[in-house]
Amino acid sequence: MDYDDGTNDRSCLSLDLFVGPRPSPVDVPTPARPTNFSLSTQVDSSFGQQSFSRKEDSLEAQLNKVSEENRRLTEIVAALSRNSQGAARRRGGSLDFEHGSVSPKRKWIVDCVKDEDAWKRLRSVTDPAAKTFKICIRTDQNDSSNVVKDGYRWRKYGQKVTRDSPFPRAYFRCSFAPSCPIKKKVQRSSEDRSVLVVVYEGEHNHRLPSEDERSINLNAAEGGDAVGLVLKETVESPELQRLLVEQMASSLVVDPNFTAAIATAIADRLSSFRIQQPFH
DNA sequence: CGTGTTTGACCTGCGC
DNA sequence: GCGCAGGTCAAACACG
């Protein structure tokens, strides 16, 4: 699907990985790409092997660093997307948190809220006074279940067909701690059935279950972890894998440290090459 | 048998 | 007061 802001479903796929609106140059200052620098995709593996291995280690570390930063940004931008909704509406935007619908123009999707710090950040940036917040989660379009597992354990206590959506709304309580006051409402978006709109009301009065406990809970539940599924599919889908790699590569290329490392590696090789094969 | 889901009935708040 | 819609309860049921 093509949207009137020039994006399409394909571009939104990559957008989903980062959660929220496409960062503009103003939002995320990016270093200027060196205009007189180009990197060939074909590299002769016969020279500079040892030197390049060291550089590879360095680059792998860079890649890991970028991956970790990407993960953190995902959580932070998810929280910011909520905070930005007012501005989005003013410019004709997008995610209607009041009615749980998602405009096709833009898609603000949370792909992961799975650790306690992420919950705290979400709360601190969303609506701490009302103690409610709403997120949207992309799931498999063919998955008709309203299962959204976020590390906590939920017990469904009701389901209701509402007026503003053809899809039923499911009501959940936290079953990990019987006295926990938090509630969760899950409803499929009427405009994009692959998106689940999740409303949390209240706060947990206990800690996030440990990894072991979560593992037991998640494995015991039928239908799989919808949030985990999104991440899993993101990694396992060849197209999304490619998009993820492209984005990481893009991040690396605009990183001055990365380009400097590449330049140094190439300079090493060139100097080695000149020594072995002087100009005629 | 324990735990979670389903689903119809009931409760509650709100607008008219 | 009435009707409507959203939210909750609880008995029946399914499942491991």
pLDDT tens-digit profile, chain A (280 residues):
333 333 333 332 222 322 333 333 333 333 333 333 223 233 333 334 444 445 556 666 766 665 565 555 455 444 444 443 333 333 333 333 333 333 333 334 444 444 555 555 555 545 555 567 777 777 766 666 666 656 778 889 999 988 888 888 999 988 877 678 888 899 888 777 788 888 888 877 776 665 555 444 444 333 333 333 333 333 334 444 444 444 444 444 444 454 455 555 555 555 544 444 444 4
> Is A222's CB less than 7 Å from nucleic acid strand C?
yes
**DSSP letter string, A219-251:** HHSTT--HHHHHHHHHHHSHHHHHHHHHHHHHH
> Is A185's CB less than 7 Å from nucleic acid strand C?
yes
Contact A179, A129 (CB under 8 A): no
> Is A171's CB less than 7 Å from nucleic acid strand C?
yes
In whole angstroms, give the CA distance from residue A42 to residue A275. Answer: 21
In whole angstroms, give the CA distance from residue A133 to residue A201. Answer: 7
Q: Is A158 helix (H, G, I), strand (E, B) or coil?
A: strand
Element (H, E) at A57: helix A49-83
Q: Is A36 helix (H, G, I), strand (E, B) or coil?
A: coil
Which residues does nucleic strand B approach, with CB less than 7 A?
A 153-160, 170, 175, 221
Rounded distance in angstroms from the CA atom of residue A264 to the C1' atom of nucleotide B13: 70
Whether this prediction's pTM lies above 0.85 is answered by no
To 10 degrees, what angle do helices A116-125 and A49-83 make?
A: 40
Please give the nucleotide, over all strands, whose C1' is closest to the CA of residue A220: C16
> Is A121's CB less than 7 Å from nucleic acid strand C?
no
